[in-house]
Every structure is written in C-alpha cells, then in structure tokens.
Amino acid sequence: MNATQGRSVGLGLALGSAFAFGGSGVAAKPLIEAGLDPLHVVWLRVTGAAVVMLPVAWRHRDLLRRKPVLLAGFGLLAVAGVQAFYFAAISRIPVGVALLIEYLGPALVLLWVRFVQRRPVTRAAAVGVVLAVGGLACVVEVWTGLRFDPVGVLLALGAAFCQVSYFVLSDQGSDSADSTRADPLGVVAYGLLVGTVVLTFVARPWRMEWSVLGGAAGMGGSQVPAALLLGWIVLIATVLAYTTGVLAVRRLSPQVAGVVACLEAVVATVLAWVLLREHLSAPQIIGGVVVLIGAFIAQSSTPKAPSGPVAGGTGADDPARLSSGSPAAQTDRS
C-alpha cells in the first residue's frame, strides 16, 4: 500500500472512530436519565468492552512482557483518565465548557510535537486545529453558561492532557521495521482491561442500580431497551471506536487524527438533534461546518521539503515519517 492509499485508509478510520465515539452520549444519556450514575455508565462501557476484547488480549499476551509501560499508560490515561477527569469536570463547570477544554487536545498534540519532539509543524495543520477548536466552541455553544471555576477548569485540562496521551500512545511502536512494535488491537484490549481495574475503584459498581438494565429507557419520545443501548455503547462507541482510532493514528499522525476527532462533537450534536430531539441552533450548524473545514485542511496537509520530518504530513507508509526524528522510529518508552 502506497502513502496515498495508506493516508486515505487512515482518514476513513479516523472518521469512523469519530462517528463511533460521537454516538456514545446519545446512547448513554437515556441510561443516565433512567437512573444510572454517569460513572456507572462509564464503568459498564469500559468493562463490557474489555470482556469483548479478552480473546484479543490473550492472543497478544506477550505485550505484557514487552510493552508493560505502554499498556499501563494507555489504560490509565487514554481510557480511565479521560473518562474520570471529564465527569469530574462537568460536576463543577458546564458540559459545553468542559467539552471544549477537553478538545483542546489536538492543539496540545501540536505543542507536544513542536516543543517536546522538536519537529516543525505545517501551517495547514496549525490552521486546521485553530479552525476545528473555534468551530467546536460554536458546536458546544460555550457562551451559554460560562462560569469560571479554577478546579473545574483544571479537571477539564486533565481530560485534555489524557486525550493527548491517547493519540501519542496510539502512535508508539507503529514503525513496521520495528520487530518489537505493539499490535494496536492488543494495546486497545489491555488498555480497556487496565481502565476497568482503575474505574472499578472510582465508580464503585456494587452501588449501581442494576435493575435499570433490565428495563427500557426513553429516547426521543420512544422506549428503547436499556440492554440495547448498553450494547451500542460497548460494541460501537468503545470497541469499534478505540480500535479504529488507534489504527487511524498509526496510518496518519497523532496531530492530524486529533483534529479529525473533533468531528465527534459534531456527530454527537447532530445525533442528539435527530434521536433525542435536542435543539440544534444556527451557531451549532455553522460551528459544525467550520470543524469539518478545519479537519479537512489538517488531514490534507503535506510534508515540506525533505529537510526533516514534518508534523501533519503523511501516514506511517511515508518514508519521511519513518526517519530518525519521527515518533514511529523512536525507541518505545516501555
């Protein structure tokens, strides 16, 4: 597969991941309104996905010996950390504000690439991030309930940094020439298992209203079996979302996949409008268009002259990205 084909596949995977993640809120909200605590929904989501991925974890059990730090980091930060920080944040600041701060992740990825890895960043990737974040502000209508709470903002920033770890850790070990590279499906499987252990102590599922799962939940005026909603959250919004997301990062780059992931907010808003009959305002529609434009600009950025690897360039099949300065060619931290 050449670089162009690899990039197209990566973009398709990133879009699929954004759509899968975006549907989680629409399925989770009816369960929460039916009586489940938000953290219990998160625990069910991660634990159910971990059970589904158990055969994959067993197949790639050698990762426990070869990549223990990578697996622990992915589980603690990319799975449990994002969820825990986000739900803690929305207990103190408006949901829209917390979501916007969390999705500053793509901008933070660029800062990581530019100042930590000391690699140049294409202007298109930077412009794409700015547009995507600006459009996201319109999608979540950040101006409707802003109140400054230092602790809440710090918690939301924690979610943003954990989101950065999702894209950065997903890129680790992606060099096809590295015999010790980590299989992405194995990383997802063990990340979910680690996340389950961590969230069990945080969510305390033994206090859950288990009876809710045997009934139905209201969605847009209709009654939907709670088990069906949970199945969607586990299989589509978690297993499929994480798997396609990690594969997308491997074929694109953390910063480009991060910008495309901003589409999750757009998907969530549109689905809420269609399925939950939540109002979609003109600013939200405009913001969604801006996010799409920003994501397109970022993913269509090409590398500059071959003076070194460039953030926002092509995917894992691009020789420039496999040079000594790229994350794919660096030694795994694990």
- pLDDT per residue over 223-277, tens digit each? 999 999 999 999 999 999 989 988 888 787 766 777 777 777 777 778 877 887 7
C-beta contacts of 51-55 below 8 A and 24+ residues apart: 52/234, 52/235, 52/239, 53/185, 53/188, 53/189, 53/192, 53/193, 53/239, 54/189
- Better pLDDT: 126 or 330: 126
State the first-to-last Cα distance of the chain, in angstroms, to the nearest integer.
29
CA distance 313 to 332: 21
CA distance 294 to 129: 6
Tokens encoding 31: 């369960």
**271 and 249 Cβ atoms separated by less than 8 Å:** no
Q: How confident is the model at residue 75 (pLDDT cuts 50, 70, 90)?
A: very high
Task: Give me the pLDDT at residue 286, please.
Answer: 87
Tokens encoding 240: 């499929």
Tokens encoding 297: 């600009």
Task: Give me the pLDDT at residue 146, please.
Answer: 60
Task: Give me the pLDDT at residue 311, please.
Answer: 45
Q: What pLDDT, in 10s, does the model give residues 139-192? A: 777 777 665 678 888 888 888 888 888 877 877 655 544 556 678 889 899 999
> How many CA atoms, within 13 angstroms, populate the side-chain half-sphere of residue 90?
14
Q: What pLDDT, in 10s, does the model give residues 292-301? A: 787 677 666 5
Q: What pLDDT, in 10s, does the model give residues 84-127? A: 888 778 777 766 667 777 777 767 777 777 788 777 777 887 88
CA distance 292 to 260: 8
- Better pLDDT: 327 or 196: 196
- Better pLDDT: 137 or 316: 137
Helix ranges restricted to H, the chain: 3-22, 24-33, 38-52, 54-59, 63-66, 68-73, 82-89, 95-102, 105-111, 123-139, 150-171, 184-203, 226-234, 241-251, 254-261, 263-275, 282-299
Task: Give me the pLDDT at residue 106, please.
Answer: 67
**122 and 312 Cβ atoms separated by less than 8 Å:** yes
CA distance 48 to 275: 24
**187 and 70 Cβ atoms separated by less than 8 Å:** yes
By percentage, how much of the chain surpasses pLDDT 90?
21
- Better pLDDT: 38 or 328: 38
Kindly report the number of other CB atoms within 10 A of residue 16's CB atom: 17
By percentage, how much of the chain surpasses pLDDT 70?
81
Question: For residues 243, 107, 104 and 254, what is the CA-based torsion angle, rounded to 10 degrees?
Answer: 10
Q: What pLDDT, in 10s, does the model give residues 44-66? A: 999 999 999 999 999 999 999 88
Question: For residues 35, 40, 45 and 51, what is the CA-based torsion angle, rounded to 10 degrees?
Answer: -120
Which SS3 state, helix, strand or coil, does residue 216 take?
Answer: strand
pTM of the model: 0.73
